[in-house]
Structure 1
């Protein structure tokens, strides 16, 4: 049975991670787990852990599932900024060899949780081969199911597959099709954003270009009318690089509700500099933008 203190550590880290992910406005799901005693014993039997060498690093594990594959790198960078990293495995595609791409990060417990874990470890023999770290795995929605099947049905029983070369290739091939579909999904929504831009459907353009968890609050009618009459401003917004503007926001101290108005104000202040939209921007937001800009 897992020490209750470990549950407290998991909860504290999860809250910190969830708050920061929510601030981004990105579309994601967050899962967490603590290894139970059986899982710990099973991993000890499969791995050669030693107090003088390598310790188990994933007593606590988190998995972040993004809806779109281009958000993976953004969230990896966010987690590294938030916790630092002990190890990062971030496979890039290889043009010559196909294999499932690993995207895992190992981080130290935050200071307070690290001290608490040290106290727990000092009184629990079961934790002597466990490090004061946790693991974060990064997946897309489409690849998540495949990874679950692969982990349980192949990774944990490798001898079953020792002579099944063709079958192993087929399983990898299923992953390849999902990877292609991830790319196609992003491209589809890019195309949809363009169609809405051409039709001057500004809310729909913003929703499909930025792919954030927007609230149901409509874009200010005065801004809609202005963009309808000044399509060059709408064009400039559409042409912005989506990942650059989101990364800038995430790496700042900005934090505002994910509404269409707020994001138009933000994009205009940093990138477009249109006087009319600036005049519609609330003073408290302009002050926050200015403070972050300086």
Structure 2
């Protein structure tokens, strides 16, 4: 259907129920990602989200501005998220957080003019990451919709005005030139008064910040450090008092206080976003974080470090009861050398005990068969010569509504033991959970080694060259359960590839990242020649070949494809000249991870 001349009398809906359901799941994942970032930053906000309704979509299409033709304009806000910030100063901070989280398409902002007041628009359009796109039916993109979503930033004061204006003025004026459908025709004077409210709201936003700045100055002079911190940063800081020893130290060391005082809100937010564990933001923790990252005062470090390193999680418990949905987030079949059987069993047993000892303190330290269960928790382990089985279930201690269920079966198969591992996440929202490998699998690989397709795989970071015959034997082996990646050196090495030993990727980093998950080799001369003869030099030279777990045919990533790689979601701090290299490695890693979800 040509949506540039859409048939409005058609019975066909733009979006079917299944399509809407999948788009809604993506919307919730995007919102969850952004809300988590803002919560971790301690910013005061509230949020709403929506999928554009059928009537709104049709209304837009009626304007004739959108089509599926090449170069035609597409609707970019089928998914919309609105963030309402308590403080005007957080607009710039939130913009930066968005740009560092998603790939920006464009910003649409109102330009401030000295003698004019109008609604301040700050709308960002971002690309939907491919890991979410794969869940949306392709049929959606056969319509005039772009693979983007919109985020609108407002202050809470402006939000009320915007809602009224959107419903009672914008919708009536959109595409209308008739006074029967334009509510404001003949009332231009009142429309101007409506705009004048903006001036008062803008003054209110500015005044609120000045009020708290004045409070801060007063509290700072009075040495009321907790209130000075709260009024300066205007983040979600608790009402807890400072540690008495810390208060006394600050009282007696004004020069140290001055060092903390120079740290801006933006700097503190950046520190909060970089922390692995996000705890309640107490005044003590504010001092701790600034000291750890910027001030580096030894006395404060000794006073606070030990207390702050322990992660404290406050899960948000919901009263609504939803059905739990099991989702396989890791499934791996592999071999281990027979000589490493006992060590592998010990590694798994120790991992289980570390997770469950608080619930079942009677569990022995030494490896043995055990069988314990209570509500939400279960440990079943059988250990004997030639056979090990583990069935372990526990409630997540960091996420509400999540239960983890891990099983291991290890059985003797001659010179090796056949190991089958499955990690299941039972949660109320299956769409939000992706690949998750239990730590004991990494420890087993590092300490015991894996066997796949008859190849013993051990810890190491440098991939080896492989011949065509050996590669072909691994590819076609009935005992292969892992993907294969082969990196090809180009005939003509570009200047930018010299730092990668002539390859277009950092091969040692790729091997290290995929240890225990994937075969990684360098393509030898004869191997390269054979594949170029079969598939063409353009596909093979300087590129990467990948065999999925259950496929004997390679996927080719040419040099051009790799050079055009970019980060879709998270902005990594790297040299722009080598962004393609790191982004492609990350993309390849995600593809390998997906192999363990099948």
Note whether the superposition's TM-score is higher than 0.5: yes
Looking at structure 1, the residues matched to 57 and 299 of structure 2 have their Cα atoms a distance apart, in angstroms, of 60
Is 1:136 the counterpart of 2:155? The answer is no
Is 1:83 the counterpart of 2:102? The answer is yes
Aligned mate of 2:236, from 206, 209, 213: 213
Is 1:102 the counterpart of 2:121? The answer is yes
Q: Runs in 1 of length 4+ with deviation above 4 angstroms?
A: 283-286
Structure 1 window deviating more from structure 2 (18-27 vs 208-217): it is 208-217
Aligned to 2:278: 256
Is 1:39 the counterpart of 2:40? The answer is no
Larger RCO (CA within 8 A; separation ≥ 6): 1
Change (3 A) 1:276 1:114: same
Looking at structure 2, the residues matched to 200 and 215 of structure 1 have their Cα atoms a distance apart, in angstroms, of 18
Cα RMSD over matched residues?
Answer: 2.3
Question: Could you say which structure has the higher helix fraction?
Answer: 1
Shift of 1:240: 2.9
Q: 1:190·1:208 contact (CA, 8 Å) conserved in 2?
A: yes
Task: Give the match's secondary structure for 2:108.
Answer: strand
Aligned to 1:8: 25
Q: 1:256·1:262 contact (CA, 8 Å) conserved in 2?
A: no
Structure with bigger gyration radius: 2
Is 1:22 the counterpart of 2:39? The answer is yes
Shift of 1:255: 4.5
Trace 1:46-125 onto structure 2 (pairs within 5 A): 46=63, 48-52=65-69, 53-121=72-140
Aligned mate of 1:236, from 253, 256, 259: 259
Looking at structure 2, the residues matched to 66 and 214 of structure 1 have their Cα atoms a distance apart, in angstroms, of 16
Question: Could you say which structure has the higher strand fraction?
Answer: 2
Is 1:145 the counterpart of 2:142? The answer is no
Aligned mate of 1:156, from 158, 163, 171: 171
Aligned mate of 1:197, from 201, 220, 237: 220
Question: In the TM superposition, what whole-angstrom CA distance separates every residue of 1:65-97 from its partner, at most 9, and x where no partner exists?
Answer: 110000011001111110111111133422243
Structure 1 window deviating more from structure 2 (54-63 vs 232-241): it is 232-241
Q: 2:104·2:125 contact (CA, 8 Å) conserved in 1?
A: yes
Looking at structure 2, the residues matched to 120 and 283 of structure 1 have their Cα atoms a distance apart, in angstroms, of 55
Task: Give the match's secondary structure for 2:101.
Answer: helix
Shift of 1:190: 1.0
Looking at structure 1, the residues matched to 226 and 207 of structure 2 have their Cα atoms a distance apart, in angstroms, of 23
Q: 1:214·1:259 contact (CA, 8 Å) conserved in 2?
A: yes
Task: Give the match's secondary structure for 2:77.
Answer: coil
Shift of 1:30: 1.4
Unpaired runs of 5+ in structure 1? 287-294
Trace 1:156-175 onto structure 2 (pairs within 5 A): 156-158=171-173, 159-175=182-198
Structure 1 window deviating more from structure 2 (84-93 vs 199-208): it is 84-93
Looking at structure 2, the residues matched to 167 and 282 of structure 1 have their Cα atoms a distance apart, in angstroms, of 60
Task: Give the match's secondary structure for 2:236.
Answer: coil
Looking at structure 1, the residues matched to 246 and 271 of structure 2 have their Cα atoms a distance apart, in angstroms, of 23
Shift of 1:237: 2.2
TM normalised by structure 1 equals 0.88
Looking at structure 2, the residues matched to 21 and 192 of structure 1 have their Cα atoms a distance apart, in angstroms, of 25
Q: 2:117·2:198 contact (CA, 8 Å) conserved in 1?
A: no
Task: Give the match's secondary structure for 1:65.
Answer: strand
Q: 1:87·1:106 contact (CA, 8 Å) conserved in 2?
A: yes
Task: Give the match's secondary structure for 2:191.
Answer: helix
Change (3 A) 1:47 1:81: farther
Q: 2:271·2:289 contact (CA, 8 Å) conserved in 1?
A: no
Shift of 1:216: 4.0
Q: 1:197·1:238 contact (CA, 8 Å) conserved in 2?
A: no
Looking at structure 2, the residues matched to 46 and 201 of structure 1 have their Cα atoms a distance apart, in angstroms, of 59
